[in-house]
């Protein structure tokens, strides 16, 4: 075994994994909710599928972007 330090912070990796998993579950739930709501609204299959597939990643992107802006604006301690 070498005495080199571990460059990966296990706590940060665990926190990022939980955050990523929760975003994945959120995307699946949002897809199902959009699919059902658009179906009840009488939308046709192609627009219904397109919106259900494209809106969740866009919302996740906005969440991540907001987190990055918020995280960068806070002073480091």
Q: Residue ranges per domain, the chain?
A: 44-77
Q: How many CB atoms lie within 10 A of CB 59?
A: 14
Mean pLDDT of 9-37: 94
pLDDT above 70: residue 23:
yes
**What are the distances in angstroms from CA 59 to CA 4, 64, 66?**
40, 9, 10
Greatest alpha-carbon pair distance for the chain in Å reads 64
Mean pLDDT of 27-43: 96
Global confidence as pTM = 0.78
Residue-level pLDDT at 17:
94
Confidence of residue 35 (pLDDT cuts 50, 70, 90): very high
Contacts of 9 (CB under 8 A, 6+ apart): none
pLDDT above 70: residue 1:
no
Residue-level pLDDT at 71:
76
């Amino acid at each position: 075994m070498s005495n080199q330090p571990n460059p990966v912070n296990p706590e940060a990796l665990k926190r990022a994994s939980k955050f990523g998993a929760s975003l994945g579950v959120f995307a699946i739930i949002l897809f199902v909710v959009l699919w059902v709501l658009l179906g009840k609204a009488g939308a046709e299959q192609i627009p219904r599928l397109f919106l259900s597939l494209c809106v969740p990643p866009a919302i996740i992107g906005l969440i991540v972007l907001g987190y990055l802006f918020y995280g960068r604006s806070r002073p480091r301690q």
